[in-house]
Structure formats: structure tokens, C-alpha cells
Amino acid sequence: MNEPLVKAEVHGRVALLTLNRPKALNALNNELIAELYALLKKYDADNEIGCIVLTGNEKAFAAGADIGAMKDWTYHDVSSQDYLGGQWEELRRFRKPIIAAVAGYALGGGCELAMLCDFIIAADSARFGQPEIKLGVIPGFGGTQRLPRAVGKAKAMDLILTSRMMNAEEAERSGLVSRVVPADKLIEEALEAATVISSMSLPSVLMAKECVNRAFESSLEEGLLFERRNFHGLFATDDQKEGMRAFVEKRKPEFKHR
């Protein structure tokens, strides 16, 4: 039997997904994206899972879309099938939080995949970049849109136009990653963060994610209203009663995720 292109393990209420094309530095081909999509769909729908961690290996999170597969494609090939337009954008519609745990290279589509996640924890070995310009193309999985939102126009232009990579320290300074940890602690730290998230009330977690994402899609006025209505809505959950009562009674809450 062939090795899966994405391995899955469950740790408590956390699903750990590991990209598994090490010989090609986890280059993203259609088969890998399809396996990733299927696993994310499965765990997103699983009530026993509260958070997902997506990682690669020590050398690469992913070194981009598969250049070997793309090299002979024509404009007609990519545009007629809207190359990864549909399924790729579906990846961001999952409701459970997804943490990217990045060591080594996160380049091109690999950097774009990390940016599709809800936040990035980087190993000190991580290197981020959008080097597509060197191949005679541009980022095609959201890099020209998500990178400037994450790091600002100046740094995004610099990275995309020159193709230079940035290290973990620069990525943290510029807001692309939430924290940098020693490479040998990456999975431990990411699982720990995911375990904390998955111990929170799931309805609050889902709404918090939706509200933060809404900040990038709407005016402040609309975003604030969206937040307020969802805040109100959470008072209909058992977990709001449990969370607030537990605080007053000076004990740990036991959330039922409803």
C-alpha cells in the first residue's frame, strides 16, 4: 500500500496532520491537496476534535506547488480547471481552528498554505518566502493577498518581487507568525496550544475564529455588529452558564461543547 501523502494522528481532542512527501520537500500536488482536504473535512465534522495542527518535517513545511507537475501546463490547462481555485479556497472555510506548525521551508504555495491556517507557530529553523517570480509566475494560492494583510505592503512587495526568504525571527517581528520556538520543541508547543484551545467551549472557539476572520472581510461597523450578535448568542449555550458559574465558584469549568 502507498504511504499516505498526509499522515493523521489524534492526541486527545487534537488532530495532528503531517504532510508526507519528504523527498519532494512536501511539494503540493493535486493528490496531496485532495488528501489534506479530505482529512480536514473529516476532523472539522468530528465532535471529538476541537483543534487541528498542520505540520511538515524538519526540512520543509512545504516548498511550494509541485513545479515538476506544473512545468508543461498551458494557460488553457490551468485556467479551464481553475487550478486549485475551488478546493484551495474551500480549505479556509473549515470552522475548527487550524494551527500551522512550520519548520524549515514554507515557500510559495507552502507559505500560502501556512497563511490559510488560523495562526502560525514557527520553529527557529523556519524560512518563509514567495519565490514564484523566479519561475516566471506569481503567487497563485493567495500570497499577493494574504501576505500584505499579515506583514504590510512594504515587506510583502519586497518578498514577492525579490523572491528573498525571511527567517523565523523576521517573520515574527513582522506579524506573520505568532511565536517562534526551538525546532525540537515545535510539535510539543503546537500540540500544547491546540490542547488549550480544544479544552475551551467549542461554540466560543468557532465564533471567536469567525469573528476574527470577519475583521478582514468587513467594515468595522459591520464587524462590531457581527461580534456583538455572536457574543449575545453565546448566552444561549450551556457552556456560558458553566464557564461563568465555575469562575464564581472558584473551580475549573467542565465544558460540554454546546
Query: One of 108, 109, 129, 142 is an active-site residue; which one?
Result: 109
Cα distance between residue 20 and residue 183, in whole Å: 18
Min CB(61)–ligand CAA separation in Å: 11
Cα distance between residue 44 and residue 138, in whole Å: 31
Q: What's at 250, amino acid-wise? A: K
Min CB(83)–ligand CAA separation in Å: 8
Residues between 91 and 120 that touch ligand CAA (CB under 6 A): 105, 107-109, 112
Grid cell listed for 198? 480544544
Residue 25-44 contact track with ligand CAA, rule CB under 6 A, x = bound: x-x-----------------
Q: Site for ligand CAA (CB under 6 A): which residue of 56, 97, 139, 203?
A: 139
DSSP E strands, 77-157: 98-102, 105-107, 119-123, 127-129
Pick the closer one to ligand CAA by CB: 43 or 128. 128
For the question of residue 227 being annotated catalytic, the response is: no
Pick the closer one to ligand CAA by CB: 50 or 129. 129
Pick the closer one to ligand CAA by CB: 66 or 239. 66
Query: One of 15, 35, 60, 112 is an active-site residue; which one?
Result: 112
Residues that bind ligand CAA (rule: CB under 6 A) add up to a total of 21
- For 102-122, b where at least 16 C-beta lie within 10 A, e where not — what string? bbbbbbbbbbbbbbbbbbbbb
State the maximum Cα–Cα separation within the chain, in Å, rounded to a whole number: 66
For the question of residue 169 being annotated catalytic, the response is: no
Cα distance between residue 176 and residue 114, in whole Å: 10
Pick the closer one to ligand CAA by CB: 97 or 139. 139
Min CB(44)–ligand CAA separation in Å: 23
Query: Does residue 234 belong to the site contacting ligand CAA (CB under 6 A)?
Result: no
Cα distance between residue 70 and residue 244, in whole Å: 54
For the question of residue 109 being annotated catalytic, the response is: yes
Half-sphere exposure in the Cβ direction for 22 (13 Å, CA): 7
Question: What helix, strand, coil percent values describe the chain, rounded to 5?
Answer: 50, 15, 30
Residue 42-71 contact track with ligand CAA, rule CB under 6 A, x = bound: ---------------------xxxxxx---
Pick the closer one to ligand CAA by CB: 64 or 97. 64
The C-alpha cell 514557527 sits at 122
Active site residues: 65, 109, 112, 132
The contact set with ligand CAA (CB under 6 A) reads 24-25, 27, 63-68, 105, 107-109, 112, 131-132, 135, 139-141, 143
